[in-house]
Amino acid sequence: MNTAETLRERLAKLDPQQIDIIDDSHRHAGHAGARDGGGHFRLHIVAAAFAGKRTMERHRLVYDAAGDLMKQKIHALSITAKAPDET
């Protein structure tokens, strides 16, 4: 299973209504994080779990769900996290 698929599986615990994961690793070839094997990803996720939460709290939910991927497989993660009524 690739990193994007693993991330999608882990984020499922947030019960997302929408989730898009874009692997931008190819755009960062030669970058220090890419040399170490960490990928660069963009995430757009919509979930009721984000309702009433500030950006930092939403990002923390994502990082907690991603777990050790953030230390091993993901070097950079750009997050857009919204509640369903914000889309």
CA 64 remoteness from chain centre: 10
Structure-token match 């939403």, residue found: 58
Helix (H) or strand (E) holding 71: helix 69-72
Domain limits, the chain: 3-86
Cα separation, 5 vs 35, in Å, equals 21
Q: Could you please state the CATH topology (level 3) that the domain comprising 3-86 is classified under.
A: GMP Synthetase; Chain A, domain 3 (3.30.300)
Neighbouring C-beta atoms of residue 57, cutoff 10 Å: 12
pLDDT digits (tens, 9 = 90+) for 19-76: 999 998 866 566 554 555 568 899 999 999 999 999 999 999 999 999 999 988 998 8
How far apart (Å, rounded) are the C-alpha atoms in residues 58 and 29? 29
The structure tokens listed for 11 are: 């984020």
Q: Which of the two residues, 36 and 81, has the higher pLDDT score?
A: 81
